Chain A
Amino acid sequence: MWRKEIRLAGSGGQGLGLAAMVLADAALQAGLYATIMQSYGPEARGGASRADVTLSDQPVANPWFAAPQVLLALSQKAWDRFSPKLEAQAVAIVDRDRVRVAAPQSAWVLPFERTARLELREKIVANMLALGAVGVVLERIPCAVLQEAAQRRAPKGFSGVNRIAVARGWELMAMAQGGTLHAESVGP
């Protein structure tokens, strides 16, 4: 059985709930099963919010997990709160300008927000860039499927830029894995 538990974390308003929906949608398209549990209550409106996505090739019995295998953190608060729970083999991905990763912790440190702002002229699509990067490490959902889902779920006027953002995030992660992206902090 293949099963991945993914936590998309940041602060309320960064679009992690939407990112979770896109990811789960894409997973369903790719023939997988998916559940989402989202943080609910005061933290969803600021503070460290999270959306937990479970993907599997079998129906997901239990949608709840304590420690994810993949953690995306787009804010320092979210990183500080959720990274201590990570197990050694977990993969962490953070935004280079939002999160400082201190040794011995390690993470893929990628410029999501900066790329969104400077290249795509839409800071708000940093979530879709990050989602593209997550897609690479999952190794189960093709980039095109993730792009289509991002387009389908996009708010009005964002379907085109969402598509591009996912692809760009995918590329950043692939470059980082291939060692061709200069990253100022540590990679695993």
Chain B
Amino acid sequence: MELIQGNEACARGALAAGLKFFGGYPISPSSEIAEILSSRLPRAGGVFVQMEDEMASLGSVIGASLGGLRAMTATSGPGFTLMQEHLGYASLAEIPCVVIDVMRVGPSTGVPTAPSQGDVMQARWGSHGDRAALALAPASVAEVYDLTVQAFNIADRLRAPVVVMFDEVIGHMREGVELVPPRPEDIWRRPDPVGPPGSGHRAYAPNEEGVAQMPRFGDGYRFHVTGLFHDERGYPSTNAELVRQTLERLERKLAPVPFWLPPEKYRLGDASFVFVAYGAVSRVAREAVDRLREEGVAAGLYRPRVLWPVADAQLREDLAGAETVVVAELNRGQWVDVVARALPRSIRIVSHGKSGGEPVTTDELLAAAADLQPRSVKSS
């Protein structure tokens, strides 16, 4: 058992996953990730570069990844905004990379040191175009470690940018953990290129999972990488059917992720009153569930570990027994829209958003529950 911080768990998870390149620009409340990697990554045979800004940071990560390295950057809201351009590029050009976003209060420079979950929709729609997005949301120090490892696995297997997002509370809290390093067989690899190098090589020909099978730069293959829609050799195309098929494929290839990392269901079996929460708020909601159960309320918690993409059918099935769903978030209500879209109208959906930089408390959630369930709460 050791006592470590979420940000340190993130850095160590990245190293355990085989991180070999970090390009970043330190920013509160993510700075410890860069700080720790600046000393440990070179000792692990990797490269650490402090770039001039966040756009260049993700640019350097994309370059390192095309060369075959496991690469990442870490930032917070203001930097995440600057990275949106390159996130879109990495999505369409199918370049694996990991982006850590430790969320603080925004917009703009906002409150640099206070927690928030305000970047959830930015992770989905921050980059222009109908981009399919991947975002993971750990809720404990140990899970930051595990999901950072998984982020690299998913990025490589699906050749896509993966965002790991957590609030300042998770980034800075210390707790006792036993970190379990991944075994060699737990590390996923990128799909191998098909066929030998040659003029007919099709770097963007998808495999059965819909993923491009690109070689590394420097391996003797000639292929083209672009942010334009492209054919299987990587050369630009404006063919409408190709554009449609590519968009569908890029979305389809991400669809298994919520099943690889299923949601946590806490006391959900017979629950009619359900909190939906992620990150630090989910810890508070879990406590509220226990307190409500003591009072005789059939309460439960649904905690997604993958915020994007959403498996609508799975969400609908998991929450089918609920009468009331309270979506508690450290923002003014973002993921609540996802829940509302997935669930039938017969279920009452309530947004419990909080902004301002103070964490949600158990008492607040209990008060919200009392307002919504006057009979069961007061009768006990």
Residues of A within 8 A of B (CB): 21, 24-25, 28, 33-38, 40-41, 60-64, 66
Contact = CB atoms under 8 A, between A and B. Distances in A.
Nearest to B363: A66
B287 A62 contact: yes
Contacts of B290: 61
Contacts of B361: 62, 64, 66
Interface of B is mostly: mixed
Contacts of B112: 41
A106 B113 CA distance: 33
B176 A33 contact: yes
B175 A34 contact: yes
Contacts of A28: 1, 3, 176
Given A21-B3, A28-B1, A66-B361, A60 B113 contact: no
B37 to A, nearest CB: 20
Interface of A is mostly: mixed
B3 A36 contact: yes
Most chain A CB inside 10 Å of its own CB: which residue of B172, B174, B284: B174
A35 B29 contact: no
Contacts of A63: 169, 173, 175, 280, 283
Most chain A CB inside 10 Å of its own CB: which residue of B112, B280, B359: B359
Nearest to A66: B361
B175 A38 contact: no
* Size bracket, chain B contacts: 20 to 34
Most chain B CB inside 10 Å of its own CB: which residue of A33, A36, A38: A36
A36 B173 contact: yes
User: Which are the 7 A-B pairs with shortest beta-carbon distances?
Assistant: A41-B113, A61-B287, A36-B174, A64-B359, A28-B176, A35-B175, A61-B283
A7 to B, nearest CB: 15
Interface in B1-52: 1, 3, 28-29
B272 interface: no
A17 to B, nearest CB: 10
Given A40-B29, A61-B287, A24 B113 contact: no
B11 to A, nearest CB: 18
Nearest to A63: B173
11 contacts: A25-B3, A28-B1, A34-B3, A37-B169, A37-B172, A41-B28, A41-B112, A41-B113, A62-B361, A64-B284, A64-B361
